Amino acid sequence: MGFFRRTADEGRSGPSTPTDAVEATHSDPAAPDASGSPGPSGASGAPGATTTATPAPAAQRGVAARTRDLVKVFGRGDTQVVALNRVSLDIYAGEYTAIMGASGSGKSTLMHCMAGLDHITAGQVQVGGVDLAGLIDKELTMLRRDKVGFVFQAFNLIPTLTARENIVLPLSIAGRRPDQQWFDTVIAATGLGDRLSHKPSELSGGQQQRVACARALVSRPDIVFADEPTGNLDSVSSGEVLAFLRRSVDEFGQTVVMVTHDATAASITDRVIFLADGQVVYELRQPTPMKVLEVLTDLDPRVGAAQGSHAATGPSASAQSQGA
């Protein structure tokens, strides 16, 4: 497929300073390549090197979150690592977006920066039109509480609280009562109606993650970020969680961004963004497991081979069977 790769001698450490990182080459994805074919946003032609992912021409949705020339650098001197190198990306409202890439590609760092969980080195991050760099700590905390929902791989439930108490915890901290009708809708969608009085130790892994999903949605956030939400689950439980996230987009108009390493999980989303060496290198709409595997294999044959053995039995098959 001829996707963009960085040469081996460029390495993972990147430019020597954050300023150099900001000055790195940044090509226009809408511009034609040498053959005259469009870049990643087009339907034909091999994509060239780019750090910008753009929507298909038919996509006319609003933007829920956005980055512009985002740089994230860890460490200094000889130990410096440029985790994100001038990433410009729009996340569209009411869509289910997956972010993929090999280990160390920057996918989790990108999500953490977009969600306001990590400070950026340079560039811009916006959520709901609000520039995160312009917020003081208290304002950033309020934005995360009111406009952003989180689903983590490790569930992050309070063991001494019941499922109901965990779900409404962010609202309780904010001194707000849940909208009962919306709460009932979310609980019905997650199938947790008979488990609300149970504590996490009394729930299965899949049920715990559905509690985490309900907690993320109950405040009606602008966007939900899910970091490897099925990483600790078996295939059946994974399918249940993925089906719920899919349903939250289709029925509730929720915006969901999911970091995943799983091609089958990514295949139930609307759009897949691929990262390599801290840059967005390709975008795929209407993904299928095979299409996702083709991109992953071209970016890193070892990743593609590992994914190929899992594609036929992965969680998306279960999710799709549940109407996702």
Question: Who wins on pLDDT, 154 or 59?
Answer: 154
Least Cα distance to 29 among 298, 279, 301, 293 occurs for 279
CATH 3.30.2310.20 fits 8-321, yes or no: no
Examine the pLDDT at 16 and tell me if it is beyond 90.
no
Confidence of residue 305 (pLDDT cuts 50, 70, 90): low
Per domain, the residue ranges of the chain are 8-321
Residue 321's pLDDT is 44
Whole-angstrom CA distances from 59 to 37, 126, 146, 285 are 20, 20, 27, 11
pLDDT tens-digit map of 281-295: 999 999 999 999 999
pLDDT tens-digit map of 146-201: 899 999 888 899 999 999 999 999 899 888 999 999 999 999 989 999 999 999 99
Residue 234's pLDDT is 87
pLDDT tens-digit map of 124-138: 999 988 999 889 999
Mean pLDDT (whole number) for 290-312: 72
Least Cα distance to 91 among 31, 163, 147 occurs for 147
Considering just the CA atoms, what is the radius of gyration of the chain in Å?
20
Residue 279's pLDDT is 95
